[in-house]
Every structure is written in structure tokens, then in C-alpha cells.
Amino acid sequence: MQGACQLDDLNIVRLREGEAGFDATKQRLSGQRGKPVSFPTVEIEPGRYMSDSDRLIEHYAEQHRLVPDELPVLSLYKRTIFPKLIELHKFKTGKA
């Protein structure tokens, strides 16, 4: 696909709660967004940050003229893996 974003074009920062740098990075991003940050958070252009996986998917799909529901791997994930992850999270946290 011409013009598609490549992984080499991205600077991915992996953070894990409790590890060094997590709180400082979360605080810095919250300051830049002007509200508490959630993850994932992506700098979609210099100084402009976006959170929420669905919004990020929509943003990049629109940018590359794609229809998210027509992406086979994303569709498979949303139908199979993601519901199981939600179920597991609810089980682990005791939230129904």
C-alpha cells in the first residue's frame, strides 16, 4: 500500500505501571494533553496527542483511506481475541 505508515516511521515507547519512568511520562503527557492521559496515547502530529484505540484506528484509517471493518486482522481481533481479553479483565478485577 503506497503511503502507508511503516513501523520504522514510529517511535514506540513501552511503559509498564510501576517501572521507572512510567509516572513521569504519564504526568508529562497529561500536561501536554491538558487532562489525565490513558494509554495508548499517540503524538499524531507535533504537539497533538490522541488517546483511545478506536479513535486512533479511525484517525489512521481515514488518513490512509481505509475502512477499519474491512481490515481482516483487526476484524478478527475484534471478533475473537478482544472479547476474551475483556472477559479476562472483568474476571481478574471482579467487575461484572
Which residue type is seen at 34? Answer: G
Per DSSP, the chain holds a count of helices (H) and strands (E) of 4, 2
The reported pLDDT for the residue numbered 3 is: 53
Q: Which residues of 29-54 are buried (b: 16+ CB within 10 A; e: fewer)?
A: beeeeeeebeeebbeeeeeeebbeee
How much is the pTM?
0.70
pLDDT in tens, 14-70: 888 899 889 999 998 898 888 888 888 888 888 888 988 899 999 999 988 999 989
Dist. CA 16–CA 9, nearest whole Å: 23
Q: How confident is the model at residue 2 (pLDDT cuts 50, 70, 90)?
A: very low
